[in-house]
Amino acid sequence: MRDATYDILFEPVQIGPVQTRNRFYQVPHCTGMGHRYPRSEAAHRGMKAEGGWGVVCTQETEIHPSSDLTPANEARLWDTKDIPALQLVTEAVHAHDSLAAIQLAHNGLHVANRYTRHTPFAPSAAVVDSDDPVQARAMDKADIKAFRRWHVDAARRAKEAGFDIIYVYAGHDMTLLQHFLLERHNQRSDEYGGNFENRLRLFREVLQDTKEAVGDTCAVAVRLAVDELLGAEGLRHDVEARDIITALADEPDMWDVNLSDWSNDSQTSRFAKEGYQEDYTRFVKSVTSKPVVGVGRYTSPDTMVRLVKQGHLDLIGAARPSIADPFLPNKVKEGRLEDIRECIGCNICVSGDNTCVPMRCTQNPTVAEEWRRGWHPEVLPKASKPEQHLIVGGGPAGLEAALVLAKAGHDVTLAEASDVWGGRVSLESRLPGLAEWGRVRDWRMGQLQVMPNVQMYLGSGLSADDILDYGIANVALATGAHWRADGTGRAHRKPLAFMADASVLTPDDVMQGKLEGRQGPVVVFDDDRYYMASILAEVAAAQGNRVTFVTPASVVAPWSDHTLEQGRIQTRLIELGVEIVPLHRLAGYSEGQLSVACGYTGATRQLACKTLVSVTSRSPNDAVWRALSAREAEWADAGVESVKTIGDCHAPGLIAAAVYAGHSYGREALELAKVLREDRMLAD
Ligand code: ADP
Ligand code: SF4
């Protein structure tokens, strides 16, 4: 049973005409499913409700074709034809007695309207904020009137779709209503621009319109960014945001407050710790009597209790913690705190939305597969007869595969060559800023260690002979991968002969401490283009080296744009004094001089380099697999039925991909066993 300390989290909260069943509030967040995958979207939101979130919101929902986020998969409520898709969401949420909320959005100059070809709207004429060669036009009075009508119409459609809470949204530097509030976007000279009251006018009008239209049965919430972290250049929590909330204090039924833009709101654990928004949102309750919801990547129920008790928040908002563990509230309720699968703050979920595909999650491999593959994060089919499984390698893929199989009731043996569990996660979580990534290992270990049907062995590097000797029927090789030292990657598709002379260290070497004591200057060559090289540059700089960062890409770590980190990463390297040489490939090495070539002209330049940290690509650790496949004829006699490679050993990728691969392997093994059983029954 749960500790009474947490009872406060299960109190209902009145929000205008509706009441929540507890204080767990899944705030609006993108899923990459939206209007294009409505059943997946509904199943995902329904899972949150099943897991105990008292309120479950959609993502931003386009209210009109002039707010067309194509190719992103957000929700859409352009007209009545969009109602049935959203009804799937409300039904899925209501099936578990939770409230369904919708975040209505008009994206103003944040959209280029690539599909509808509408001219984008803005308070003042301006170029849109994507790279599209498109300009938004300044809204005239007729446009403003039309916009107000669209918002009301969308709110009515939302009510018809069954939503309980309807948002008026001014956040993330993505919405027309926020653009009207901000001086840098609003240079109007009429009653909608200029002084504070005028800039607030449209927001106030739309809030009142929405209340009038649907406020009888639906709560009307405001989502407001209270700080943009831009100092005097932007909205500040202690200046304009305080004025806005004071001016509208009790007009909405609820305030949902956060930071803007999205990269500030959803900071990764590399750059911000749990609760990083608190200093900005703490004041809100002192200027309104309405309930307040806020976020901060909260996974600790003790922190949640503190926030409520201190009068900071009434409802604990969560996007990422609810993705990593849709059942977090129920686990608190049932006193199963050790089962909470904590978000690691990596933003791989965000990358799904940013690449316009259903999201994925490092910690929760079932996410966005609730409908497509019928995966439940907590429920697995039970094995009718336990089978024997051997998993070789205790990294994220091996641990996850072992967990799925063991939970289904199979007997699992897990062998790990090194003297620690976690594989690459254990290495990488020691890098600066990545400590929370260790949760990938810790949660799985916590689960596995209490299961009687799991045998776990450290210091057990297995060979093909060992595996055949064991004779365990089902074998998964999760033996990981290692970084290449020969330069092979995207820019150089073949090994570079001169790398043999270049005093190269790979990321594996650096993570094993081999950079310490090496001679500088250090050049980090990044053709991987995500986080690793930038962190190693930080490590090298922290050791007092002169560091140059060379990359064929145009910026440092371009893929980290999808995780909202690129700006922070490049800023950090600049602040550390790292010289950045973009758009260059490797060209040669001789006596402490690295030659790099411009990716366009081929012109070379020389860089002083005593140690080259090469971050290009990885090779699977598949020696055991190759030895076993060469001896496939011996498997049956040895009692081995199947051998599969999973995770990085199959094809190196993200940690999220390794976890997903381990999970898929476990599920597919269960599915296969079921099919075989059914075949046998048919044969009988
Ligand atoms: P993944 O991300 O696919 O899980 P990792 O590299 O994180 O891959 O983990 C692979 C793990 O497998 C490492 O901890 C490594 O020590 C272990 N390993 C590699 N080869 C063997 C082997 N022959 N026997 C047992 N463990 C192995
Ligand atoms: Fe958290 Fe990473 Fe999962 Fe997103 S992908 S919910 S940040 S663990």
pLDDT per residue as tens digits for the range 531-590: 999 999 999 999 999 999 999 999 999 999 999 999 999 999 999 999 999 999 999 999
For the stretch 88-136, pLDDT in tens is 999 999 999 999 999 999 999 999 999 999 999 999 999 999 999 999 9
Q: What is the pLDDT of residue 679?
A: 55
Q: What is the pTM of this model?
A: 0.96
The helix (H) or strand (E) run that includes residue 523 is strand 522-526
* Residue 242 vs residues 280, 282, 285, 595: alpha-carbon distances, Å: 10, 11, 11, 55
CA of 75 to the centre of ligand 2 (A): 21
Instruction: Say if CB 364 and CB 27 are below 8 A apart.
Output: no
Q: Render the burial of 17-26: b for 16+ CB within 10 Å, e for the rest.
A: ebebbbbbbb
> Within a 13 Å sphere around the CA of 587, how many CA atoms are in the beta-carbon half?
17
Count other C-beta atoms under 10 Å from residue 141's C-beta: 10
For the stretch 56-65, pLDDT in tens is 999 999 999 9
Residue with tokens 């810790």, as numbered in its chain: 442
For helices 141-161 and 196-214, the axis angle rounded to 10 degrees is: 30
Q: Partners of 667 in the beta sheet?
A: none
For the stretch 625-637, pLDDT in tens is 999 999 999 999 9
Question: Is 265 annotated as catalytic?
Answer: yes
Nearest to 340 by CA among 376, 298, 307, 398: 298
Helix intervals (H) in 476-565: 507-511, 532-542
Which-ligand-closest: CA of 343?
2
Question: Is 44 annotated as catalytic?
Answer: no
Question: Is 169 annotated as catalytic?
Answer: yes
What three-state secondary structure class fits 665? helix
Q: How many residues does the chain have?
A: 684
What's the gap between Cα 338 and its chain centre?
Answer: 22
Q: What is the pLDDT of residue 675?
A: 56
For the stretch 441-450, pLDDT in tens is 999 999 999 9
Q: Give the atom of ligand 2 at the shortest distance from the alpha carbon of 348.
A: 5
Which-ligand-closest: CA of 434?
2
Euclidean distance between CA atoms 529 and 235, whole angstroms: 33
Query: Average pLDDT of 66-72?
Result: 96
CA of 462 to the centre of ligand 1 (A): 10
